[in-house]
Structure 1
């Protein structure tokens, strides 16, 4: 049977048992913050098992895409080392939601394996949880398995849990004995390839809470999982998953690319590397197809680790250029009919992987060089453990994940001080945290609050009004600022990328100018930078202000309407921009940060390459087309989280959501979770103009834009500048301006070439005199002089000319180029041979005098330095070295 036939036979069997065949859930779980990746078939049914959700069916079956490369279920370290662990795999499964239970699950599993697929019964073993007498007896009564082939095992092997918390219960596994003489009874659950688990029947009856306590579920369920890759290998008579037709097309493609042949050996480094690539491309392709992106945090970091691990193994196969992305084609050919998302998103998958490969390859060689230097030094000292600081340097500077360094160390008999690595990681995070804290005047203040009321949480009224009468609850001086807390406020505190409001808070006696609004827990902090005595009109120094004058005072809080409105324009525009980016670039685009203020907006998002000017123009056009439609903005408050998801609100891993959320909707276009302030109608934005697009980190891009009056002012300013340019160039149109500028640039380029040619001719003329006056020692000419040139390239050209004119000899030319020194040395071939003098070594030694370094070929080499004042000393040093060598 082919793997496709095996998969279909499984689904057909359970269709005959009245199961609904459901689609695989994405490997990127958008609505489960407890999971980085979908790691089991039951993930999409978790709400049913917990009793908080339901389905229109009580029996289901499917093939589920799974990734196990993080957390409790992590098979990454075993991939390639054995024949049956994978970071990505398919899980064939059948479920019962409060319908059938242990009896039917056991009976049908035995029927499919032995009656339909004809697996030999004497090679099958069943395991049950140590005290699950019910399952033990059912295996005896409902199947004809040999009683001696039913084994009891403990919690480690026969109690299934999806994660640290959640649905769980005892399980019954089915193992197959692949030993030649059927002697594998003692190898069941021993982690040996001779006897492997092929199916796990999980009987879900508990929910484990955060404290580890088990609670009975409202109804009992069945969740089974059969590793598709394993059963395909077994049914095809293979002892290795990689020998089945699930992997052989990928391995063949790897062989075509690398010129290697896969032999299936467990000892061969080549075969192991090929297995790793065959596994890792599946994980990367499916994750990216479902919206994942390599990055430096969360699931993105796991994907980056896997990809960089793959790049390193590709290097072992002799590949010095991007390789993994080339395997996407064969994956689409073999799995695209079952999982069409691979074909639909093939271009994105290839682009993301290729870009990541190119990025890591830029630092891989240097990282390997540093690693080799560390290990050579370690071996000389007799050490066996790579220092944590060195491992952290490889991670922080060269992008080597810890597990990659560990892997490379293990290959040469070394280990890594992982505690030291984590300590260095913590120090870096602590420093970053400290830096962030020091940037916030609010955060660094530790002074005591003066309490006027018992308010422990500020009530925010700013969605409905920009003015609010309230009472001052707390106050504190923070350096040159005064912090005020009101019982109720219309001021929006900085959050979710939106800057805090500014405005005024007034009492009968004082006016407090609010320059910013921040949060501290549940309190909203109004930051006062100026106090005015309303009676006298005089400014009051904050350091001299008596806080007791605030006691129980009523206050009138007024938000600056102009800046709030401008900020709202930019925030609503950000939502439109986000959707337009996803529409043009793809659904892999996810928000990675933002800044929304009255003057501009900044939006950071996941993307693997520079966004073309054409794409940016299209994005801008889409946003402005939406603005012209002038749709009313719907703001839904206190929406149950599940209801918000049903509305289509975007939910990304890592974002924190409560049970009730606020949703901002532009009907028919954008729906997002958002607690910020927004316009009532998108037409109020007026206009959006993108001003820049750039990279801020690997896989993260940034767009900056302006809206409304600021955008109008920008267009007006650009228009004035263009008109001034037209007048200066006497051009009749914008096209004429471009033509005229291009012509000027071409003329300038030609003139520069002519000037450079004349300068070089003058320098060459002066060179004749220097060559004529060169000293001679033992038949060898020595030329050392300082010359005037316009750049290092010109100096090198001059050095080559001098070497030609000099004939048999040694020369050094030096030049002061601004605040730097530049040197070129040359040695004729006969002198290299007769006196062992080499230009590279000479110039490197002399460059030390000018506080620099350099090198090159034996006959011509260059160097640079930071101290042009010492060029004359460098020239004398050169003469000394050469004279000593020729004496």
Structure 2
């Protein structure tokens, strides 16, 4: 039965549930539909994954949203948000499969108010949505509210509103853990009301609310953001009150479809059937739980695999890939957990997991078309990771079984063994813990961590706000500060349009002075004047020519000087908070006060390379797509299924770093072609035009390159590296000729013509995660210096190539090889240099081989002569011909034929490889144990080799130990 057939049989198929919710708020209550943000956050480093519907609206709650963004105009919004809770603070990964209601990927239905309606309206809408729209039995609904604690009064307002809809015995108070929401240790927060549903009904289930009973579940949480949590723990009322709600889409669907579990809905059932087919599972999914009922953990495997393929597919399509750290490591754990269950519990063959992706796309692609667009890419990433793990899975499972069956373990799987599975078999510790739990064992986690050289970084990345060095003050501005500027100080938004000029800006007015959060009596941080004694301070002007850090481009530096006075403010950092540009730095001289007239003097010498690097980043972006995607397509080559999409950038005065999606290392020819194409744009002296246009018009440009998941203002600034102005592109947006140039949305500073970049040098290309590559390049003087360095080194290589294979070339190649590794030159030319050096090394080796062949007779004669004058039955012969064991054996054989009463030990240094050879041989009848002799000589050296009593040879990897080896040989 197809997915569509399944839906026809249901009164409430999942797509209808989702659309009904959204249309209720959109059409009946004036909400704007605001689509789901990616489940991999684009601009929030505090999160591993998007874990709630409110994540994308944080700038609105914090008062830091750029007023140019369309989001800033929102007052009411609704959507269904893609969420992942695996790793970090919110982590359900360990519980998935063990019960019938946990997920790592889920959808959160939500409605939001930004300073518009509040508690009365929210609760009324929620009640109407559930009872009138979805026809839920009101007798099965319960509401919980914040009952207060020793620091915060109860939310009696919410309670009283709920009493209009529910009897008192179903309106229940709970503590802050359940009914008070906070974004973090400080910041916006407030009480919430949760709506719970009793699946069974016909009873008093009040005592089961928040008791973690699957029959009485929370379905909707309404958060009232009305306070700001201060650093001292106190609550300060916010100037604007917001509403943030979230309802579990899967839970609501299960209720409407009349089933006991999310996994019994049409969201999961088609996946289960596909899993059964692909794995040839022992039986269909039966909803069983626990080792007694779910024998062999068959149903647990179904749940794990179905949940995890959703998580991986959405995470990959939104920009993450399995890797060794951060969110990538979480995804690797998720995939390996699913593959292990499929292989071990369902008997699946290699490749089953990636083959499940098309069914997921069929089920959810209609709502999330990005799955359809990138299905091949998802499959390729999953298949590669699945195959990598499968190579060691069977061996690892057997090793786990062997280790777990140790009679001495007393029910505890040792940390040492867990570390072995982690390091050797690629088993994450939580996978080992899960397998141990299935056997009734625990894992010695402390022992595991003690064995780890470095604990794997799993926590969410710390958000490092820029602060002036050494101040120790909190110079961030959040909702409290931006609200104070607007409502108390009446400071207008900063006009930063002059940031694109290259002249001193006179006549700016100081509108506010900030000395840090918690640094004033009211804790907000604004003062009327500052001096040198104020340490780090921040200035907000009515207009500025300084560029605030954003869009991957670093901030400007320079001076703000008081007009008609010597007061000078040294700018070391510039940050953007909502509509305000904050200039951070220190007062060098004099006093600066609110209302002062000042001039803005940007360090344009520093900005020039920044602008150059930024413009050429755009050109590089175009060149990568042209060389990797467009040209192969034009030549009829098969697509890899991977596009070249920007995944991040950092532009400063020293270099540009550009991250992009691509599977596999770029070939030397591809890198050469990219570098050539970028340099051609400089030679062609292509104009760079910037123009601000309505977003709707700009998005019609066929050649436009936009960053996936990025939010763009309306109107938006277009930067085009083309012979024609942007206005001409807008007049003919679908003209194919624009595909030959760079056209992007960008708010950064740029050159006016590519010729101003002067030079371009691609220094490095490397992989930073699965499917993500990074290029670093320089322009201007740094690029010219790199090119000159490469030219000089190439001249030296050419001179070396003219030498024969003698000792002079050998010494020169050693020097050139070491220098090449440290050269700051184009990676294209460095690759060529290494190839040339490799050819020269072959020439040197051929020379040395020829020289050694001619010296064999001489070496033999010297060895025999040494034997004739040496007393005793052992001869130690030192002659450096490298670690050539074949030559050494020839010499030793000739010696033992001529000198029949002595054993010989030959020691030869190989200075090229920093090693030496130890070889011993004894003629018949001579009582010398050659292997024992060699072992005594190499003891404590990490030497490797072997042999027998009459002949042995070893190589020692450290030539500095040669003299002590000779001494040991003599003493033995």
Following the alignment from structure 1 to structure 2, what is the Cα–Cα distance between the partners of residues 503 and 237? 60
Is it true that 1:630 corresponds to 2:648 in the alignment? no
Mapped to 1, the partners of 2:797 and 2:915 lie a distance apart of 39
Task: Trace 1:784-799 onto structure 2 (pairs within 5 A).
Answer: 786=878, 788-791=880-883, 794-795=884-885
What's 1:53 paired with?
Answer: 74
Structural mapping, 1:697-716, within 5 Å: 697-698=768-769, 701-707=773-779
Task: Give the 3 Å change call, closer, same or farther, for CA 206–770 of structure 1 in structure 2.
Answer: same
Report how far residue 722 of structure 1 moved: 8.3
- Structure showing greater relative contact order (alpha-carbon pairs closer than 8 Å, 6 or more residues apart): 2
Are 1:27 and 2:23 matched, yes or no?
no
Alignment of 1:413 with 2:442, yes or no, is yes
Query: Is it true that 1:291 corresponds to 2:385 in the alignment?
Result: no
One of 904, 909, 916 as aligned partner of 1:822:
916
Cα distance change, pair 260–473 in 1 and its aligned pair in 2 (3 A): same
Question: Please, which of 573, 591, 598 is the counterpart of residue 616 of structure 2?
Answer: 573
Partner of 2:193: 169
Contact 1:100/1:222, CA 8 A, preserved across alignment: no
Residue 307 of structure 1: CA displacement? Answer: 0.7
**TM-score, length-scaled by structure 1:** 0.59
Partner of 1:542: none
Q: Distance in 2 between matches of 1:827 and 1:683?
A: 71
1:594 corresponds in structure 2 to 650
Q: Secondary structure at the match of 1:633?
A: strand
Q: Is the 8 A contact 2:904 2:920 kept in 1?
A: yes
SS at 2:86 equivalent = coil
Instruction: Find 2:760's aligned residue among 680, 689, 701.
Output: 689
Query: 1:325–1:354: 8 Å Cα contact kept in structure 2?
Result: yes
Q: How far apart are 1:246 and its partner, in Å?
A: 1.3
Deviations 1:771-805 (A, max 9, x none): 99999xxxxx99976553334xx337856997999
Residue 206 (structure 1) aligned to one of 224, 227, 230: 224
Q: Secondary structure at the match of 2:250?
A: strand
Task: Name the CA distance, whole Å, in 2 between partners of 1:86 and 1:344.
Answer: 25
Q: What secondary structure is seen at the aligned counterpart in 2 of 1:246? A: helix
Alignment-derived partner of residue 867 in structure 1 = 961
Inter-partner Cα distance in structure 2 for 1:686 and 1:54:
44
Which residue does 1:306 correspond to in 2? 331
Give the equivalent residue in structure 2 for 1:86. 103
Question: Partners of 2:386 and 2:219 in 1: how far apart?
Answer: 40
Shift of 1:331: 0.8
Choose 336-345 or 761-770, whichever is displaced more: 761-770
Q: Counterparts of 1:314-713 in structure 2 under 5 Å? A: 327-336=353-362, 338-339=364-365, 340-350=369-379, 352=381, 413-416=442-445, 443=469, 463-467=500-504, 498=554, 564-578=607-621, 589-590=645-646, 592=648, 594-597=650-653, 600-604=655-659, 609-613=664-668, 615-616=670-671, 621=677, 630-634=687-691, 665-666=719-720, 674=747, 677-679=749-751, 681-683=752-754, 685=756, 689-695=760-766, 697-698=768-769, 701-707=773-779
8 Å CA contact retained: 1:800, 1:826 = no
The one-character-per-residue Cα deviations of 1:714-768 (angstroms, maximum 9, x if unpaired) are 77997899899999999xxxxxxx99x9999879848845853773696599679
Match of 1:848? 939
Q: 1:385 to 1:175 in 2, by over 3 A?
A: farther
Contact 2:272-2:285 within 8 A present in 1 as well:
no
Task: Give the SS at the match of 2:665.
Answer: coil
Within 2, Cα distance between the matches of 1:824 and 1:7?
78
Match of 2:92?
A: 75
In structure 1, the partner of 2:477 is none
Deviations 1:470-501 (A, max 9, x none): 9999679x9xxxx9999999787999654866
What is the DSSP-based 3-state SS (H/G/I as helix, E as strand, rest coil) of the residue aligned with 1:691?
Answer: strand
Return closer, same or farther for 1:664/1:315 CA change in 2, 3 Å cut-off. Answer: same
Change (3 A) 1:349 1:167: farther
**1:596 Cα offset (Å):** 2.6
Q: Secondary structure at the match of 2:650?
A: strand
SS of the equivalent of 2:271 reads coil
> What 5-or-longer segments of structure 2 have no aligned partner?
25-32, 62-70, 113-120, 146-158, 184-188, 230-234, 473-490, 511-528, 576-580, 630-641, 721-725, 730-741, 803-830
Aligned residue number for residue 129 of structure 1: 143
Mark the runs of 5 or more structure 1 residues left unpaired by the alignment: 114-123, 141-149, 447-456, 529-546, 731-737, 776-780, 881-887
Distance in 1 (CA, whole Å) between partners of 2:851 and 2:864 is 20
Cα separation, partners in 2 of 1:100 and 1:855, compared to 1, 3 Å:
same
User: Take 1:802 and 1:664, find their aligned partners in 2: how far apart are those partners?
Assistant: 78
CA distance in 2, matches of 1:381, 1:506: 77
Deviation, structure 1 residue 251: 6.6
* Secondary structure of 1:226's aligned partner: helix
Q: Which stretch shifts more, 603-612 or 266-275?
A: 266-275
Structure 1 residues 98 and 268: CA distance shift in structure 2, 3 A: closer
**Cross-structure match for 1:543:** none
Comparing 501-510 with 463-472, greater Cα deviation is found at 501-510
**1:45/1:766 Cα in 2 relative to 1: closer, same or farther (>3 Å)?**
closer
Q: Secondary structure at the match of 2:364?
A: coil
Are residues 88 and 518 of structure 1, via their aligned partners in 2, closer, same or farther at CA, if it must alter by over 3 Å? closer
Does structure 2 retain, via aligned residues, the 8 Å contact 1:491–1:517?
A: no
In the alignment, the residues of structure 1 paired with residue 749 and residue 908 of structure 2 have an alpha-carbon distance, to the nearest angstrom, of: 61
Shift of 1:78: 1.1
After superposition, the C-alpha distances for 1:15-57 in whole angstroms (9 at most, x for unaligned) are 997974987654235577886534467878999999963689x
Please show how residues 731-770 of structure 1 align to structure 2 within 5 Å.
Answer: 749=842, 752-753=845-846, 756=849, 759=852
SS, match of residue 105 in structure 1: helix
Secondary structure of the residue aligned to 2:199 is strand
Instruction: Supply the distance in 2 between the matched residues of 1:500 and 1:823 (Cα, whole angstroms).
Output: 60
TM-score (norm 2): 0.54
2:354–2:386 CA contact under 8 A, matched in 1: no
Partner of 2:825: none
1:217-269 deviation line (CA, Å, top 9, x unaligned): 7899895622499789959998899994414534765689xx99999866758
Does the residue aligned with 1:867 lie in a helix, a strand or coil? helix
Deviations 1:536-558 (A, max 9, x none): xxxxxxxxxxx89x9xxx99997
- Find the aligned partners of 1:187 and 1:727 in 2 and give their Cα distance: 86
How far apart are residue 868 of structure 1 and its match? 1.6
Asked if 1 retains the 8 angstrom alpha-carbon contact of 2:574 and 2:583, the reply is yes
One of 89, 105, 130 as aligned partner of 1:105: 130
Distance in 2, Cα, partners of 1:806 & 1:251: 72
Evaluate the alpha carbon distance shift between residue 37 and residue 787 of structure 1 in structure 2; reply closer, same or farther with a 3 A threshold: same
Aligned counterparts of 1:823 and 1:274: Cα–Cα separation in 2: 59
SS at match of 1:694: strand
For 2:2 and 2:784, how far apart are their aligned partners in 1?
64
Deviation at 1:869, TM superposition (A): 1.6
In structure 2, distance between residues paired with 1:176 and 1:396: 48
